[in-house]
Amino acid sequence: MRQDLTRYGELLTQIKDRIRRAQVKASLSANAEMILMYWDIGWIIHERQRHEGWGTKIIPQLSRDIRNELPKVKGFSERNIGYMIRFAREYDSHAILQQPVAKLAPDTPSTNLPQPVVQLPVHKDSENLQQLVAKIPWGHHILLMEKVKDLPARFWYMHQIIEQGWSRNVLGLMIKSNTHERQGAAVTNFEKRLPDPQSDLACQALKDPYIFDFLTLAEPFHERELETELVKHLEKFLLELGRGFAFVGRQYHIEVGDKDFYIDLLFYHLKLRCFVVIELKKGAFKPEYAGKINFYCSVVDDRFKHENDQPTIGLILCQENDRVLAEYALRDIRKPIGVSEYELTRALPDDLKSSLPTVEEIEVELSRKMEE
């Protein structure tokens, strides 16, 4: 009887897994079809505007008529139709979407409608881009069009949305902190100390600088305070580190000989399959930091590394990093180590700084208001 129940439980689990896979596939398929439809509709309107001289006044009329004649269909507000047109215009020259109108509406005569998508050249890269774009939710597309003007950077964010599973809010935070410029920018010795492709993967797993603007620390502070705050805001810290980092512990105790040592922060990276030792430093990078973290990596490899794990990686986070100094410091270090800066707040651009009032100007204005 117990064996029958076990077999039934296995059967039920197998069926549930199959249902879930089908649900995910159906959701992705529905999103792709909607994205392709939005592109096609945007292109049709764009072509009519270009060839027949229709202006923007056509958009409110289309929005009203579609909602009146297809009341159950959502997503055709004036604003959204405007985004559809922009979507088609911005991706046209890259031949990303090439689905003919007939595929989207097989029962609707379309011989009189412009179908430029059929005429676009088809090649492997454009097919890959089409698949990528079709996987991205529409809300993410709108945010990317609004905030990221550079198309290569936009495609980079699209890949991260798929790989990291970013929500729209998380995507907004990543764009705001210019993650595409920071990813893979740390000073490392990975190329010499790790085999391919592990060295490339490890480089892309690190950033420079790391932005800890979710902390409330103010100068002066101690390294231990920074560590405490990062652990207190662990979810946001992990989000800034990137996908794959799993927290192991803080002030992680290791004993060598008759002496005690404590690693600031110890992580395990699920994708790289290795431990990551992080040392937090206040102020500028010093060459001696490399020797200390090299020692920690050696101990972790010896004590905790599984036979199937990759070599432990060290990451030194400091407030200022002289890249040339760091490169020299890491050159003959045996363990794979990276050096990055961290920022508690992002510096204001110079043009914005000049437009802000000084403390003295604020005090004068407040005094004048109080006198009034």
Q: CA-CA distance, 202 to 212, in Å (whole number)?
A: 21
**Beta bridge partner(s), residue 274:** 269
231 — pLDDT class (breaks 50, 70, 90) = very high
Residue type, 153: A
Higher pLDDT, 153 or 123: 153
pLDDT for 284: 96
Let me know: does 316 contact 289? Beta carbons within 8 Å.
yes
Q: How far is the C-alpha of 90 from the C-alpha of 114, rounded, in Å?
A: 18
pLDDT of residue 131: 82
Q: Quick count: other Cβ atoms within 10 Å of Cβ 341? A: 22
Tell me the pLDDT of the chain averaged across its residues: 82
Residue 335 phi/psi, 5° resolution?
A: -90, 150
Distance CA 63, CA 287 (A): 64
107 confidence band (pLDDT: 50, 70, 90):
very low
- Tell me how far apart the alpha carbons of residues 358 and 361 are, in angstroms, rounded to a whole number: 5
Give me the pLDDT at residue 47, please.
Answer: 86
Of 73-82, 102-111, 304-313, minimum mean pLDDT range? 102-111
> Does the pTM of the predicted model rise above 0.75?
no
Q: Is the pLDDT of residue 212 over 60?
A: yes
Q: Tens digits of per-residue pLDDT, 246-273?
A: 999 999 999 999 999 999 999 999 999 9
